Amino acid sequence: MGINHQPSPPLPPWLHWLPDCESTNTWAIANATTLQPGDWVWTDCQTAGRGQQGRHWYAPPGVLTASLVLADLPLAGGSVAFGQVVLGVLRQHMPNLAVKLKWPNDLVVGQRKLAGILCERRGRYTIAGLGLNYQADFRAYSRAQIGQPISLHECVSHVIAPLDLLTLIRAQALQGLVCAVTPDSDALWGQALTVQIATEAGAAVIGGVGQALMPKVG
């Protein structure tokens, strides 16, 4: 049984629990007309999760997979803004967790990935998908598939219960998605970077130094 198994009733009215689904983002987009800002979609078993640029998101048992419905969040920069909220909650309630935000959509501990974020637009809503390695076993996957993941339980001795974590993230996200970016929260701050961007003439590569979650050119 995964760590996401159905929490004990009564469930909060903003929580939509699914025993399994292809993707919480996909489900939220398909059911957006029945959802409200602040609603979480949470599943115990995600079978076809999606990452950035259509990549497959691997979610074995022990990965917390959920999507939060938000209003008035621009899609551009949405993953960074939501990532800052998740980062702030994790740091506040697990102060020994040395987690940082890695542009554009990852939370990392050192060089290892703790969580990924995928924001997608549906009408006036943005669906912020979160895949957090809570207490996962990745031994069945190759490094080529999943890189170097790490779970919360590998990092700290006291871990917040999954539903409590979603509750805290929801409360902070509804208060506002803007928080300060500092060198100690940006995994790429001060590092030499190259980024490929789309232009009218085609793809272009720019170089710079990481600062405030983006490369600073010049």
Decide which of 56 and 113 is more confident: 113
Its domain, for residue 110, covers 15-180
- Residues 170, 198: one domain? no
The answer to whether residues 100 and 193 belong to one domain is no
Dist CA 55 CA 164 (whole Å) = 29
What pLDDT was estimated at residue 186? 82
Same domain, 98 and 41: yes
Tell me the pLDDT tens digit for each residue of 37-87.
999 999 988 987 776 656 666 677 889 999 999 997 776 788 888 999 999
Q: Tell whether 3 is covered by a domain.
A: no
Q: If we measure between CA atoms, which residue out of 33, 21, 66 comes closest to residue 173?
A: 66
Q: Looking at the structure, do residues 148 and 195 belong to the same domain, yes or no?
A: no
Find the farthest-apart pair of alpha carbons in the chain and give their distance in angstroms, rounded: 56
More confident: 201 or 41: 41
209 in any annotated domain: yes
- Domain with residue 39: its CATH number is 3.30.930.10
Q: Which residues contact 116 (CB under 8 A, 6 or more apart)?
A: 51, 52, 57, 105, 106, 107, 130, 131
**Residues in a beta bridge with 108:** 100, 113
Q: What is the mean pLDDT of residues 192-202?
A: 56
Co-location of 128 and 215 in the same domain: no
**Residues 176 and 192 reside in one and the same domain:** no
pLDDT at 72: 73
Indicate whether this model's pTM tops 0.75: yes
Tell me: pLDDT of 133 over 90. Answer: yes
Judgement on whether residues 194 and 174 belong to the same structural domain of the protein: no
Sorting pLDDT into bands at 50, 70 and 90, what band is 191?
Answer: low
Q: How many residues are recorded in the chain?
A: 218
Using one digit for the tens of pLDDT, what is the confidence trace for 137-162? 877 666 666 678 999 999 999 999 99
Peptide bond into 104 cis (omega under 30): yes
pLDDT of residue 77: 80
Report yes or no on 5 lying in a domain. Answer: no
Q: Put the strands of the sheet holding 202-211 in their side by side order.
A: 192-199, 202-211, 214-216
pLDDT higher than threshold 90 for residue 203: no
- Binned at pLDDT 50, 70 and 90, residue 218 comes out as very low
Quote the pLDDT of residue 171.
97
Q: No. of H helices and E strands in the chain?
A: 5, 12
Distance, in Å, from the CA atom of 152 to the CA atom of 172, rounded to the nearest integer, reads 20
What is the C-alpha to C-alpha distance for residues 40 and 165, in angstroms, rounded to an integer? Answer: 12
pLDDT for res 59: 75
* Cβ atoms of residues 158 and 175 within 8 Å: no
One domain for residues 160 and 91: yes
Report if residue 120 sits inside a domain.
yes
Same domain, 210 and 136: no
217 in the same domain as 119: no
> In this model, does residue 211 exceed pLDDT 80?
no
Tell me, yes or no, whether 211 and 156 share the same domain. no
Same domain, 107 and 215: no
Res. 215 pLDDT band, cuts 50 70 90: very low
Question: For residue 84, which amino acid is it?
Answer: Q
Domain count, the chain: 2
Whether 45 is in a domain gets the answer yes
In a domain, 35, yes or no: yes
Q: Is 2 domain-assigned?
A: no
Query: Mean pLDDT over residues 99-105, rounded?
Result: 90
Confidence check: pLDDT of 216 > 60: no
Asked if residue 1 belongs to a domain, the reply is no
